[in-house]
Amino acid sequence: MTTRGGSTLRNPFQRACLPKLMTTVVIISIMTGCSTHSKNAQETDAQKSAKRGKVTVTIYDRGNIPSGQGTVENNLMTKWINQAGPVDVTFIPLPRTQSDQKLNNPNFVVQGNELIHGWDNMQAVTAFKKRLYNEGLVDKEFYIDKYGAKAKRDFLNGKIGIYMDQFNVPITFYNDFYVGLKKSVPDAELAIMPYPTTPVGRFNPIFVNPIQMTGVVNAETKDPEAVMKYVDFAASETFMKTMYYGFEGVHSKTLPGECPQVTDLNKWQKEFNYASGDFGMLASPTLAGKCYFGVEKMDTKDPLQQEVKKMFEANSSFIDFNLQMAGPTHSEQMPQLSKDLQQILTDTMKQVDVGDGDIWMKAILTPNYSPEQAKKDAIAVWEKAGGAQVDAWYKAFYEKDKDTIILSKDIYDIFKQQRALQNK
């Protein structure tokens, strides 16, 4: 966590490092007001509150609050935080209109200990997508399904067999996908497969970024002590247990020497699930203990939840630490370009972005337009815009300064540490 004043807090919180295909960065901004002290022997309630300190915290408003649960800034969780915590907290909603923010990072890969533009990789993945499209294995109108709503609906109704989404929180996958799929198609079986060899090599998937900026403190805060009291509370096991399992005796039950078990999942979903992850961004299973890793929440008596647990563990077991990810690190760990070089990326992404750039999309949809030709055309657009300058900058950075960033090997080390904490 880094303050806007430039100081850095040591021992950054490590978040669960689990395989998935995309990640979302969530930032909670903390700002505080002044605290005052009573000069009277008789303290009023307001004066007692002032001694506790006050902080203002932004919280994402995703527009997903169930009926009857209040607002994202005033609900069961915010009331508990104020009652159980060491400071008074005012929550300010921040609309989260698009949870998956696109990062303008070019597709770079490491080859021969050099960082180069991954044009061959982009061609290969486009050829694979074109084959799926031509063989009728994906929706013919996938390109207009911008946020994947139709794909999810078709998957849950058993109309398509390939669906790509985050699989880093087992209980979320169970609630949002697996239960619906099994209701619609009771005989449906999901196959978890090892990561295949591609024309350009074999790679691990992208992991959840284990080191993120999950909180920002106003550099001009007037009560840093109140801020740190809130941070300590929000990072505590008590906080994480409440967000993760709900209230003891209401949503869950804890037996001596065992992890908590959710006893009323429907009630927890309604009262906690919609925002507990955002409230709990400063908490970490690495700090709180093994009971807070994903699979521990799965009910041992629920057959469907146990199926999801097995799939999740199989997915993790296919990680091969002898392999690299396709790039040198998670995209969020890549160094920031200068404004002029970043503008080159911004100006070319619509055409050459590997995800949905116009040139690559044309190669998928157009019978006589090959991925090979798309690669040539994309390189031409990139070079015309000055992309060679970006290539040269990244190459030089990797040669001289790569040890200043978190690389894939560092992410692997954290992943291994977390598996060790789970005795796996």
Say yes or no: 286 and 217 in one domain. Answer: yes
* Total count of residues recorded for the chain: 424
Tell me, yes or no, whether 75 lies in a domain: yes
Say yes or no: 221 and 269 in one domain. Answer: yes
Average pLDDT over residues 246-262: 94
Tell me, yes or no, whether 219 lies in a domain: yes
Per-residue pLDDT of 393-415, as tens digits, reads 999 999 999 999 999 999 999 88
pLDDT the model gives residue 376: 98
Of the candidate ranges 23-37, 63-77, 182-196, 351-365, the one whose mean pLDDT is the lowest: 23-37
pLDDT confidence bin for 383, thresholds 50/70/90: very high
Tell me, yes or no, whether 268 lies in a domain: yes
Tell me, yes or no, whether 382 lies in a domain: yes
Among 297, 321, 351, identify where a domain stops: 297
Burial of 284: CB neighbours in 10 Å, binned 0-12, 13-18, 19+: buried
Say yes or no: 94 and 35 in one domain. Answer: yes
DSSP 161: S
Of 338 and 45, the one with more pLDDT:
338
Burial of 397: CB neighbours in 10 Å, binned 0-12, 13-18, 19+: middle
Tell me, yes or no, whether 350 lies in a domain: yes
Location of structure tokens 């022997």: 41
Query: Are the beta carbons of 174 and 298 closer than 8 angstroms?
Result: yes
Of the candidate ranges 148-152, 241-245, 376-380, the one whose mean pLDDT is the lowest: 148-152
Query: Are the beta carbons of 202 and 329 closer than 8 angstroms?
Result: no
Question: CA 161 → CA 145, 154, 173, 190, 204, distances in Å?
Answer: 17, 9, 16, 9, 22
Per-residue pLDDT of 21-37, as tens digits, reads 332 333 334 444 433 34
Domain of residue 361, residue span? 335-404
Tell me, yes or no, whether 339 lies in a domain: yes
How many CB atoms are located within 10 Å of the residue 58 CB?
17
Say yes or no: 362 and 292 in one domain. Answer: no
Largest Cα separation within the chain, whole Å, is 86
Sign of CA dihedral 216, 222, 225, 229: negative
Average pLDDT over residues 144-152: 85
Per-residue pLDDT of 287-344, as tens digits, reads 888 888 888 888 888 999 999 999 988 888 888 888 888 788 988 888 889 999 999 9
Tell me, yes or no, whether 420 lies in a domain: no
Q: At what angle do helices 339-352 and 387-401 cross, to 10 degrees?
A: 120
Does an H or E element contain 382, and which?
helix 371-384
pLDDT over threshold 60, residue 40: no
Say yes or no: 348 and 225 in one domain. Answer: no
Average pLDDT over residues 75-94: 96
The radius of gyration computed from the CA coordinates of the chain, to the nearest angstrom, equals 24
**β-strand 54-61 against 88-95: which pairing, if any?**
parallel
Does an H or E element contain 37, and which?
none
Number of domains in the chain: 2
Tell me, yes or no, whether 16 lies in a domain: no
For the whole model, what pTM was predicted?
A: 0.75
Say yes or no: 264 and 341 in one domain. Answer: no
